[in-house]
Chain A
Amino acid sequence: MTIAGSFLAFLLVGLPIAFVLAATALVFIAVSGNTVLLQSYAQQLFGGLENYGLLALPMFILLGEFMNAGGIGRRLMSLSVALLGAVRGGLAYVNLVANMLMASILGSTVAQITIMSKIAVPEMEKAGYPRDVSVGITAAGGLLAPIIPPSMLFIIFGVVAQMPIGDLFISGIVPGAMMFVSFIVVIAVFSRLYAFPRSERLSIRKRLAALLDALPALAIPAVIIGSILGGLATPTEAAAIATLAAMLTGLFVYREMSVADIFPAFANAARSAAVVLFLIAAAQVFSWVITFENLPARVAEGLQLITTSPIVFLLLLNLLLLMLGMVTDPIPAIILVVPVLLPVATDVYGIDPFQFGVIVCLNLTLGLLTPPVGTGLFAAALMGGVKAERIAWLVTPFFLAVAAVLVLLAFFPWLATGLKELL
């Protein structure tokens, strides 16, 4: 009781979540009187990060920094324009396709929304799209980032759940494609509803030029996937290779970056990664202490009184995650939920851990666009100059599309696991 109470109190007064976890662990040790644990406390904090998979995290953040500085996002947008013909709402689809391409390189919704707001929103506004709708579509497109591999959330889930990150990436491909298709349907409805303008037909020559210009940018996801599947590199090393490719492309091909931009990219990536890594380290200390409480077993007992059906469990899980996602960011939510509920899901309900992982990551991403705590929503509002409430309203249809995908995932595990078994 004291422990749960101090945890909630620390959390609600606004102590940073990493320190909430680290301090609650101290409270637990004090209450239990097991002070010999203090001797290993600092070692556990350090040990929480001694994980090869975690190296992928700073690398993918670094890749994002170089993508942003190197003008790669803009090429992917132009390519998407070239790929599409003259259709009503053309640029809205272009936005989505560009987001899909970006998602295959980036792994973070907020990073993606930040970059795409700068590239796509002005283009759409110029072509006569309402600004708020353009920002809404861009924000929704960011939801693809954590599901289409590579994905930051999958990396963290893989580390917390001790599951292979490469396999998690593959499990995200089919659900990601389903999301993409469902978003196309939403945009088709939007096109009629908001009378989107028709895009112009580009000459073959212009299309070829855009394709040629985008080839080096397209090489980056190819490098990531190729080096992993070809056995040349681990997902972590693939991110390092892709970072090198992005750096060279920005420096020598697109020439939008100079040598002076290189070091700040490293330092800023280190700073962003550190916040996430420290949270994971603190969570490690917390879960090390909490194992003495055997929380999963107690939660499992309580849940079994409610339901014995895996499907009902997954639907309840989705509701719980939605609520949690509304008040916190996905990364702390994964850290809080997975150690407790994953063993319950696999051991009690016989749910496939990859199905569980995809559902958790996809669902928590939605929380990025929901008030009151929605980092992605606020990023989009800030970048686009549109009220957050308005964007939250405009992305609702996209939400329902994702919710439909989540329900399908709960009923059909092979949507997540099938491709992994095929490969």
Chain B
Amino acid sequence: MSSVLSEERTERAGALERASARLATAEWYCAGLLLCVVFLLLLLNVVTRSFGTPLIWVDELAIYVMIWAALIGASIGIRNRDHIAMTLLTDMLPAANRRALLIGVDAALLVFFVIFGVILWNWFDPVGALSAETLADFSQQSFNFIYEEPTTTIGMRKVWFWLILPVFFLSGALHASANLAARLRGGEGER
């Protein structure tokens, strides 16, 4: 949807920015679809309850689907700079200083994502988990119960839902790098 993305921005952009634009479009569809699912789950709950046959897993699933939609939407928000910021000070700066500061902010965001990536790597510990005999062994040796934690009502391991966090890391880092690249090139000085 062209309304989501500023197309003119991608015209003279590099591969990074084009990838970020394409990803944002895909994310826009995903987030919309997931919110659709939340909506239908809530209605399903009303209907089944009024027939006296409530489904216990609906509420928990609706919450997880909402979280998926939220983190995917938050990733689009990084690309489009939708996230609320205090711009009182930056607005008062002269143009040159302001640009330097904005580049700094974009870089800081990228640094945050790098740290977040390291945190996720340590938590999911793919190397440790794969080298252990079983996931149960891994949990016992590392005291990291990420792969054992159950959901309350759905009957699935919670890690399946937590997988949105690495997805958010990857997409957020891509958008943040693309934004920084665009800013360094001199574009997007507006916001």
Contacts and interface: CB of A to CB of B under 8 A. Distances in A.
Interface of A: 10-19, 22-23, 26, 38-39, 41-43, 45-46, 49-52, 54-55, 58-59, 62, 227, 232-233, 236-237, 240-241, 243-244, 263-264, 266-271, 273-275, 277-279, 281, 327-329, 331-332, 372-373
Contacts of B102: 14
A274 B74 contact: yes
A277 to B, nearest CB: 4
B105 A13 contact: yes
A279 B108 CA distance: 17
B34 A18 contact: no
A327 B88 contact: yes
Interface stretch (B15-23, B114-122, B128-136, B181-189): B114-122
A23 B115 CA distance: 10
A41 B119 contact: yes
B129 to A, nearest CB: 14
B119 A267 contact: no
Contacts of B57: none
Contacts, number: 188
Contacts of A10: 108
Contact of A49 (B32, B66, B122): B66
B82 interface: yes
Contacts of A42: 116, 119-120, 123, 162, 165
B28 A59 contact: no
A275 B89 contact: no
B115 A26 contact: yes
B172 to A, nearest CB: 10
Interface in B68-121: 69-74, 76-77, 81-91, 101-102, 104-105, 108-109, 112, 115-116, 119-120
Given A14-B102, A275-B83, A244 B35 contact: no
Contact of B69 (A243, A270, A281): A270
A267 B31 CA distance: 6
A11 B83 CA distance: 13
Interface of B: 1, 3-4, 28-29, 31-36, 38-39, 42-43, 45-46, 50, 59, 62-64, 66-67, 69-74, 76-77, 81-91, 101-102, 104-105, 108-109, 112, 115-116, 119-120, 122-123, 144, 161-162, 164-165
Given A13-B90, A327-B88, 11 more contacts: A14-B85, A17-B85, A23-B108, A49-B66, A232-B46, A267-B31, A275-B84, A278-B73, A279-B83, A327-B86, A328-B86
A212 B112 CA distance: 56
Given A270-B31, A275-B83, A281 B38 contact: no
A236 B62 CA distance: 11
Contacts of B35: 58, 62, 266-267, 269-270, 273
21 contacts: A13-B89, A13-B101, A14-B102, A18-B84, A19-B108, A39-B144, A45-B165, A46-B164, A51-B63, A54-B66, A55-B62, A62-B35, A264-B3, A267-B1, A267-B4, A273-B35, A274-B73, A275-B73, A278-B77, A279-B84, A373-B88
B141 to A, nearest CB: 15
Contacts of A328: 84, 86
Nearest to A17: B84
B84 A332 contact: yes
Best-buried of A268, A331, A372 by chain B (most CB within 10 Å): A268
Nearest to B65: A55
A18 B112 contact: no
A241 B76 CA distance: 28
Nearest to A264: B1
Contacts of A268: 32
